[in-house]
Amino acid sequence: MTQPPLLPGATLGVMGGGQLGRMFVHAAQSMGYFTAVLDPDASSPAGRVSHHHVQTDYLDAQGLAELARLCDAVTTEFENVPAPALAQLAAQRPVAPAAEAVAIAQDRSAEKAHFTRIGVPCAPYAEITDQASLERVGAQLLPGILKTARMGYDGKGQARVRTREELAAAWARLQRVPCVLEQMLPLADECSVIVARGRDGAMVNFPVQHNLHRDGILAVTTVHEGVLPAAICEKAVAAARAVAEGLAYVGVLCVEFFVLQDGRLVVNEIAPRPHNSGHYSIDACDVSQFDLQVRTLAGLPLVAPRLHSPSVMLNLLGDLWFDANGQRAQVSAEAVTPPWDAVLALPGVHLHLYGKLKAARARKMGHLNVTGATPEAVRATALRVAAILGIAPF
């Protein structure tokens, strides 16, 4: 029997109190829902703006029971929420995405096995779980990138290796935990696609997003018609939809891709949640990725998002609070508020700060969307913003 939609007035819960949870809470509240957040941090960005904050560990039985009591349905804002916690909640309330899908995204080996199973190309790889599997690694995988199978994100838990000796040393530095070695590929570009899939199988997607990473952290996302060749965009959208369909996924899913120098497209990884590269959608689309997260969780109809403005998203890291007046050579020992007034004097600039109480280098403190009439105008404004804040040009 089809479950009726949860209409505004119901309470929607989210596991995790970070910035993605905060933006989900804002989207849900704007539609008239009550919200609850489970996060152990008393000052979590989402917990501080939600109607309810259950301050416990993610595996705390009493905390999970309280969240289930408060909520009519529950989602997650980051992939490292323990899958067993989602499974426990699902015994009492609708949960999206499901624990099984999140568990696959939490493990690079399972993730790559899923890509292989559905026929979506990924980088050649080998699993390393013990000394024997280390010694079996084929020479064709070197040079490569060694990644921990679990808990790695934003470039953490990774090492570039060129030789077997470097591979062995890197695995030792990673405490010999299960890892995946990926062949290093000649990259031309990086992109991502965000899809939203409902319980009825209905699916919509955002346009292909062109991404630039620095030090393993997303720095810039650019979205407009023609941002990448049409053939690549068509393949990326088809592959992202196939990944979601193969998981019987419910919720918002981001699929990240590499575009190789020979024009081939290979999938990198998935994120079972809204994603940094989709933040532009808040200001450049008529429906944001967080609006669709609310809709998929509540069982509301999905509408295809419309990109009404070209956009550039700049990730705002805590480094900006320590580089005085945009001069990156002048490193301050104390945090100083960046010159937001100068930035906001520019047309089409939308500032989103996450309510984090303390800035730290490499910590995601916010993002900034630039919208405008043409891709050229948006890029010019975004470069002026970058110059004011001391962000490297792109």
The residues with which 316 forms a beta bridge, in sequence order, are 366
Residue 55 among known ligand-binding residues: no
Residues 116 and 126 sit within 8 Å (Cβ to Cβ): no
Residue 163 CB-density burial (10 A; 0-12 exposed, 13-18 middle, 19+ buried): exposed
CATH number of this structure's domain 11-95: 3.40.50.20
**What is the fold, at CATH topology level, of the domain defined by 187-389?**
D-amino Acid Aminotransferase; Chain A, domain 1 (3.30.470)
Residues 110 and 127 sit within 8 Å (Cβ to Cβ): no
Could you say which DSSP state residue 289 is in?
H
> How many C-beta neighbours within 10 Å does residue 90 have?
16
Residue 262 CB-density burial (10 A; 0-12 exposed, 13-18 middle, 19+ buried): exposed
Residue 330 among known ligand-binding residues: no
Residue 151 among known ligand-binding residues: no
How far is Cα 81 from Cα 156, in angstroms, rounded to an integer?
Answer: 17
Residue 66 among known ligand-binding residues: no
Q: Specify the pLDDT at position 329.
A: 41
User: Does the domain spanning 124-183 belong to CATH 3.30.1490.20?
Assistant: yes
How far is Cα 250 from Cα 272, in angstroms, rounded to an integer?
Answer: 9
> How many C-beta neighbours within 10 Å does residue 339 have?
15
pLDDT digits (tens, 9 = 90+) for 105-122: 999 999 999 999 999 999
Which of residues 158 and 374 earns the better pLDDT score?
A: 374
pLDDT digits (tens, 9 = 90+) for 180-231: 999 999 999 999 999 999 999 999 999 999 999 998 899 999 999 999 999 9
Residue 190 among known ligand-binding residues: yes
Residue 184 among known ligand-binding residues: yes
Which tokens is 323 given?
């580089």
Q: Which percentage of the chain shows pLDDT scores above 90?
A: 90
State the average pLDDT for the chain.
Answer: 94
Biggest alpha carbon–alpha carbon distance for the chain = 63
Residue 144 among known ligand-binding residues: no
Residues 10 and 72 sit within 8 Å (Cβ to Cβ): yes
Given pLDDT bands bounded at 50, 70 and 90, which one contains residue 80?
Answer: confident
Residue 366 among known ligand-binding residues: no
Q: Specify the pLDDT at position 111.
A: 96
- Domains of the chain: which residue ranges? 11-95, 124-183, 187-389
Residue 155 among known ligand-binding residues: yes
How far is Cα 378 from Cα 309, in angstroms, rounded to an integer?
Answer: 9
Residue 269 among known ligand-binding residues: yes
Residue 62 among known ligand-binding residues: no
Residue 52 among known ligand-binding residues: no
Given pLDDT bands bounded at 50, 70 and 90, which one contains residue 79?
Answer: confident
The residues with which 234 forms a beta bridge, in sequence order, are none
How far is Cα 197 from Cα 255, in angstroms, rounded to an integer?
Answer: 13
Of 19, 95, 21, 16, the C-alpha closest to 57 is 16
Range scoring the smallest mean pLDDT among 106-115, 165-174, 330-339, 348-357: 330-339
